[in-house]
Amino acid sequence: MNCELCPRRCGKRPGYCGAGERPRVFRWGPHFGEEPPITGERGSGCVFFSRCTMKCLYCQNSPWSWKGEGKDLTTPELTAIFRDLAIKDKVENWNLVSPTPYLPFVREAVQPLFAEGIRLPFVWNSSGYERVETLEEYKDLCDIALFDLRYSRNTTAVAASQAPNYVEASRAAVKWAYSRSLNTPHASLIARILVLPGHADEAIENLAWLATEVSNEVPVSVMAQYTPAYKALETPPYDRAVTEEEYESVTEAAADFGFENGWIQGYEASDPKLALLGENMSADHGTVS
């Protein structure tokens, strides 16, 4: 497989992310902790794909994102997951968590369901490290673009996530999703701003960019929930939660830039006891909590 799905454009599989020739999934099930329009009443049907195009040293999901735990699936097996989420769990949507290496398989897997009249909105749940060409090619899998703006400096993106040109890639992805939300009735965008310890200024720079270069009407989800995990435990400043002062500097900036749509987590979400840690989550089907 000649893979150019993400900005790394490896040209082969396995490439940088380690994804192979079949879709690999770690866990799937209803998630009740996403943003309100995504969670709805019945939960969002998350599918956590193994491997990731980013390598974040603080990743909470390292067992499957870095280490590749999960099961290689046939297309009918992936179809069955989407069917069960829709029919048995009765979720609100199919939430594709870091799906980029597997987009062709997802598209193939849902075709039989469409033929049966089973169709849910897709959430494309992403770090934002995307290629616009890929977004355009697979836009049928993107009803709600849930995209991060994680860094405003590529030096940080490389140091913390091994992601060259992250800033250009994520901003182009957000612009693409915003433009689509204006022109396509069922399409929408939520920009996630995860405040990182020692890097609150980058969250503010991304909010400034979003307000000036895109629109302050974009719904933003400002998050305090960063919790040190994996390699971050021994890599300052990622080995701590965000401080209240750091977090407030970002929430105040969001207000100053005129963002009124979206959600701002309370600072208490930074409490590690509240963290959703993928490291503690088991494989296969189950509620995500």
Q: Does 30 sit near ligand SF4 (CB under 6 A)?
A: no
Q: How far is CA 31 from CA 103, 111, 116, in A?
A: 21, 24, 25
Which of these, 43, 47, 35, lies nearest to 79 by C-alpha position? 47
Q: Of 86, 115, 112, which Cα lies nearest the Cα of 28?
A: 86
For 80, the 3-state DSSP assignment is helix
Return the range that interacts with ligand SF4 (CB under 6 A); candidates 7-15, 160-168, 171-179, 216-224.
7-15
Quote the CA–CA distance of 171 and 191 in Å, as a whole number: 10
* CA distance to 225, 226, 265, per residue, from 244 (Å): 12, 12, 12
Q: Does 248 bind ligand SF4 (CB under 6 A)?
A: no
> In the complex, what is the shortest distance from the CB of residue 97 to ligand SF4, in angstroms, rounded to a whole number?
14
Residue nearest ligand SF4 (C-beta atom): 15
Stretch that binds ligand SF4, among 2-10, 31-39, 68-76, 118-126 (CB under 6 A): 2-10
Q: How far is the CB of 21 from ligand SF4 (least distance, A)?
A: 11
Question: For residues 176 and 142, is the Cβ–Cβ distance under 8 A?
Answer: no
Q: Which stretch binds ligand SF4 (CB under 6 A): 1-9, 64-72, 110-118, 212-220?
A: 1-9
Interaction between residue 53 and ligand SF4 (CB under 6 A): yes
- Cis? peptide before 14, omega within 30° of 0: yes
Dist. CA 253–CA 237, nearest whole Å: 22
Kindly state the smallest distance separating residue 129's Cβ from ligand SF4, in Å. 9
- 55 lies in the binding site for ligand SF4 (CB under 6 A): no
CB of 163 to ligand SF4, least distance (A): 10
- Which of 19, 109 has the CB closer to ligand SF4? 19
Taking the complex as a whole, the smallest distance from the CB of residue 248 to ligand SF4 amounts, in Å, to 36
Query: Does 8 sit near ligand SF4 (CB under 6 A)?
Result: yes
Q: Which is nearer to ligand SF4, 101 or 278 (CB)?
A: 101
Inter-residue contact 51 to 24 (CB < 8 Å): yes
Contacts with 115 (C-beta within 8 Å, 6 or more apart), sequence order: none
Cα 280 from Cα 160, distance rounded (Å): 22
Closer CB to ligand SF4, 163 or 264, in the complex: 163
- Region of 13-21, 57-65, 175-183, 264-272 interacting with ligand SF4 (CB under 6 A): 13-21
SS3 of residue 200 by DSSP: helix
Question: Rounded to 5 degrees, what are φ and ψ at 213?
Answer: -100, -20
* Mask for 100-139, x = binds ligand SF4 (CB under 6 A): xx--------------------------------------
Binding site residues, ligand SF4, CB under 6 A: 3-6, 8-10, 13, 15-17, 19, 53, 100-101
